[in-house]
Amino acid sequence: MFSIHSWPQVILHVDGDAFFASVMQAARPHLKGKPVITGHERGIATAISYEAKKYGVKRGMTLSEIKKLCPTCHFVESDYELFSLFSKRMFEIIKQFSPVIEEYSIDEGFVDLKGLQRPLHMNYEAIGKKMKETIESNLGITVSVGISLTKSLAKLASNFKKPSGLTVIQGPDIESFLVKIPIQKVWGIGPQTAAYLQKWGVKTAFDFVSQTQGFITKHLSKPFFEIWQELQGKQMYAINPEAKTTYSSISKTQTFYPPTSDKNILWSRLLIHIEDAFNKARRYHYAVGSLFIFLKTQEFRYHGREIKLASKTSYPALVRDEIKQAFEKIYQPQILYRTTGCTISDLVENKAVQETLFQNSSAQNKMEKIYPLLDAKKISFGTCLYDKTTLSHEKKEIKPSIPYLSLKSLG
């Protein structure tokens, strides 16, 4: 089926193994080889070492649940500054091998290796092995590496032999490799799509690429057609070494401990997320057309509401009433909540937004004058409930003030 016998392009994917937990083990040598779980500040497991996974510990479990499975587990607080430092050092090492890198997330990246065999005096597999060994010896963590013709194949390869694995998929090896991969393990294919495909007899990645183009375009949307081509070795996703400057949506969320049913606390936190999301939209010159807010319960159930804005805007104070109404519909006083969050979407460039008959031009003009001062931190909407940079898990007696500007005060 696959007739690719050379390297039209060479993509390496490097992925930190249980990165957050591994970093804590590297920073605290007494934790090496022991079951480690991060997330003590949230009261739930956020990252799990391979030693802890053997006991059946999963993300989202509470401390009491974890102790039943693994009494010897070390439950530690996350150190995001430390994680960031390890990530920065990891990518500095990768840059010693190739100048073209996409930092996909804090613990994984894609690397363009094409043409580097001669200058580095190594074949592609040797380059991956050397990069892996350098990271592991310098940082004291393990990483898994995959090398293939496309991003999708390289990511499958890096996940194939975890932890500390190295897998190379050349053109002639694609078919025999994809036979081993369940369809739900393919990057970009979620549980719902996998279940749908399985109804058509598509159980492996090879079953997927064996389908005709007509089948794919008839039953699936464009992104899955691109994945179908990537898995055949045809590059659809180029490496993007630039920092991300365009967004289809922006999300802000945070889990806190202990959980609360306090309406003022939840409202204040939600407004902080909304302000932060809109602030990011303004930095990239976007106006917002849709807003989704949610509260997540202690039982991990989501209560959310979507708000379709009559007029796209960059200023959340203009839609405060709509947000408040949506919040009132999802908030239930008898329920304990552990997470607040929002997602803004339907983003368009500000210059493409036209004023409608329903817009309050006076309020809009005031926002255009006030928000630049807010963004520059020359004024404040009031004292936030928590310091956003160091949210403590300790209980505090704080009277929340709403970190939001009222239009009535501008009249």
pLDDT digits (tens, 9 = 90+) for 226-269: 999 999 999 999 998 876 656 677 888 888 888 999 999 999 99
pLDDT band at 375 (very low <50, low <70, confident <90, very high): low
Residue 137 pLDDT exceeds 70: yes
Residue 30 pLDDT exceeds 70: yes
Residue 1 pLDDT exceeds 90: no
In angstroms, the CA 330 to CA 180 distance is: 44
What is the CATH classification number for the domain harbouring 72? Answer: 3.40.1170.60
| Host domain of residue 401 | 249-410
Residue 5 pLDDT exceeds 90: no
Single out the residue of 104, 116, 109, 105 nearest to residue 93, CA to CA: 109
Residue 409 pLDDT exceeds 50: no
In angstroms, the CA 281 to CA 8 distance is: 38
59 and 106 housed in the same domain = no
More confident residue, 190 or 365: 190
What is the CATH classification number for the domain harbouring 136? Answer: 3.30.70.270
114 and 211 housed in the same domain = yes
Residue 33 pLDDT exceeds 90: yes
What is the mean pLDDT of the segment spanning 363-389? 51
pLDDT digits (tens, 9 = 90+) for 70-80: 999 999 988 87
Residue 202 pLDDT exceeds 70: yes
Residue 5 lies in a domain: no
Residue 3 lies in a domain: no
298 and 393 housed in the same domain = yes
What is the mean pLDDT of the segment spanning 43-48? 86
Instruction: Among 35, 60, 82, identify where a domain stops.
Output: 82
In angstroms, the CA 306 to CA 292 distance is: 4
88 and 213 housed in the same domain = yes
What is the mean pLDDT of the segment spanning 287-307? 87
Residue 139 lies in a domain: yes
Specify whether 65 is catalytic.
Answer: no
Helices (H), 159-289: 174-178, 191-198, 205-209, 213-219, 222-230, 263-283
Residue 243 lies in a domain: no
- 263-283 and 320-330 helices, crossing angle to 10°: 140
226 and 256 housed in the same domain = no
Residue 4 pLDDT exceeds 80: no
258 and 393 housed in the same domain = yes
In this prediction, residue 374 carries a pLDDT of 59
Residue 237 lies in a domain: no
Residue 199 lies in a domain: yes
30 and 156 housed in the same domain = no
Most confident option among 44-53, 250-259, 312-321:
44-53
pLDDT band at 347 (very low <50, low <70, confident <90, very high): confident
Instruction: Among 230, 258, 280, identify where a domain stops.
Output: 230
In this prediction, residue 245 carries a pLDDT of 59
Instruction: Among 30, 57, 82, identify where a domain stops.
Output: 82
Among 102, 103, 108, 275, which one carries the catalytic annotation? 108
The percentage of residues in the chain with a pLDDT greater than 90, rounded to a whole number, is 56
Residue 376 pLDDT exceeds 70: no
259 and 294 housed in the same domain = yes
The percentage of residues in the chain with a pLDDT greater than 70, rounded to a whole number, is 83
Q: Could you give the number of structural domains in the chain?
A: 3
198 and 285 housed in the same domain = no
30 and 104 housed in the same domain = no
In this prediction, residue 60 carries a pLDDT of 84
Residue 390 pLDDT exceeds 80: no
Most confident option among 130-134, 220-224, 352-356, 395-399:
130-134
DSSP string, 178-204: HTTSBGGGSTT--HHHHHHHHTTT--B
Residue 394 pLDDT exceeds 60: no
In this prediction, residue 255 carries a pLDDT of 83
Residue 16 pLDDT exceeds 70: yes
What is the mean pLDDT of the segment spanning 101-125? 95
Residues 6+ apart with CB under 8 A from 180: 160, 204
What is the CATH classification number for the domain harbouring 316? Answer: 3.30.1490.100
Residue 236 lies in a domain: no
Mean pLDDT of the chain: 84
pLDDT band at 391 (very low <50, low <70, confident <90, very high): very low
259 and 405 housed in the same domain = yes
What is the mean pLDDT of the segment spanning 125-154? 97
In this prediction, residue 407 carries a pLDDT of 38
Bridging pattern class, strands 166-168 and 143-148: parallel
Residue 2 lies in a domain: no
267 and 286 housed in the same domain = yes
More confident residue, 96 or 106: 96
